[in-house]
Amino acid sequence: MQVGYKVVPERKMTKPELGHLKKSGCPPLKHLIEFRLKDKSVVTSYTPGQELSVSDMFKEGEKVDVAGTSIGKGFQGTVKRWGHHRGFMTHGSKSHREHGSMGAGTTPGRVFPGLKQAGHMGNERITIRAQQILKIDSVRKAIVVKGCVPGKPGSIVEVRVAKVVGKNC
């Protein structure tokens, strides 16, 4: 099942996207996300182009998984990216925020794969599992969850019923 969000003018869509949406009788939508449904009987309960409401999909107190793109931090060193300890700041030290040793010497003569190094941090898909829905506002079409939500304010997130719910979630 595909779910769309945010109506946009037709000129901002490609012809294949427009054709796909017109076929189902939907207006031009900027964001399309596809969900797999376990039961085929659930699919027949929806019609193409039907508008979904938040209160029909979720209930207060229910656990959900919230997925989205985390805030990008750019190129970061090992101290910020992996939480490594910094070096000495005094006593002649020149390595304050460097990573330290990268591995052994002549043998093995290489750096083993998977070493935590500096690099690009953030701007990746993150799923925060088993968050409780505190409130559903059907007027503003909003859900209030207990906990953090990945991404910047205004970014698109995907909310689905929690896969795993238990004591440790």
- The predicted pLDDT at position 79 comes to 97
pLDDT value at position 156? 94
Three-state secondary-structure class, residue 17: helix
Burial status of residue 41 (CB atoms within 10 A of its CB: 0-12, 13-18, 19 or more): exposed
**Domains, in order of start, for the chain:** 1-48 (no CATH), 53-72+122-168 (2.40.30.10), 74-102+116-121 (no CATH)
Dihedral of alpha carbons 121, 123, 127, 132, sign:
positive
d(CA 144, CA 142): 7
Q: What is the pLDDT of residue 42?
A: 80
Q: What is the pTM of this model?
A: 0.82
Residue 166 has pLDDT above 70, yes or no: yes
The pLDDT of residue 112 is: 95
Is a pLDDT exceeding 70 seen at residue 108? Answer: yes
What is the rounded CA–CA span in Å between residue 22 and residue 76?
Answer: 45
